[in-house]
Amino acid sequence: MTTHKKLIAGNWKMNGSLAANEALVTALRQGLAANAPACDIALCAPAPYFAQLQSLLVGSPMALGAQDISAQAQGAFTGEQSAAMLKDFGVRYAIVGHSERRQYHGETDDAVAAKTAAALANGITPIVCVGETLAQREAGQTEEVVKRQLAAVIHVNGHCISEIVVAYEPVWAIGTGKTATPEQAQAVHAVLRAQLHHAASEHAAGIKILYGGSMNAANAAELLAQADIDGGLIGGASLKAPDFLQIISAAAR
């Protein structure tokens, strides 16, 4: 069982506005001021709002995160944001290989490994997402799929694999209202921990493995109580201050 601080990362996806962001962060800051968090917190927001959030988060216990990062340093890559650009805005975390990026943008395991390398090279902590579809789970391929996805990242970044965060997000439980049972989630987290142990034996216990499949205020405590679940990558619930604060509170236990 790991003993380090848990990480609760909100993934806003393509949601937000200047007014909504300010209201949400203000409510979160008020809640955290009343009850200081005992876990790490990140808000992974759409890139147009980085400047606003960099200002809103000053002096708070919340770090700014990105939802993607380019594997390229600079150049003719229209629509991309480099690690150096993210660092200009104080971005500390970057989600890499989210299932929506894999599904809708054709990101391969190799692309995810390259993006992970770009983040690490620039001092940004990558939150590397792995997970299986419903068809893959029903075919008994869960372990094979997540190990393949993580292996690609380890192969390219093995020398500094202890610096990554892993997020297990069963694709069938993202935005569907379905959640892996705590036992199902823990079983996969244990597989990932063993794989990390093989790659970085002395550091494996310190690598955070988050659960990212419809974690919410109602189920967070039970999921976070599992031995190898070190936090959550939170979707819809991260846009509701009371829910997100409740999950943060659950991570402190």
Catalytic residue of the set 107, 132, 169, 189: 169
Catalytic residue of the set 98, 100, 107, 163: 98
Distance of CA 188 to the CA centre of its chain: 16
Instruction: Decide if 132 is catalytic.
Output: no
Q: Which residues of 75-84 are buried (b: 16+ CB within 10 A; e: fewer)?
A: eeeeeebbbe
Instruction: Decide if 189 is catalytic.
Output: no
What is the C-alpha separation between 38 and 61, in angstroms, rounded? 10
Q: Which residues of 225-238 are buried (b: 16+ CB within 10 A; e: fewer)?
A: ebebbbbbbbbbbb
CB 164 within 8 A of CB 152: no
- Residue numbers annotated as active site: 98, 169
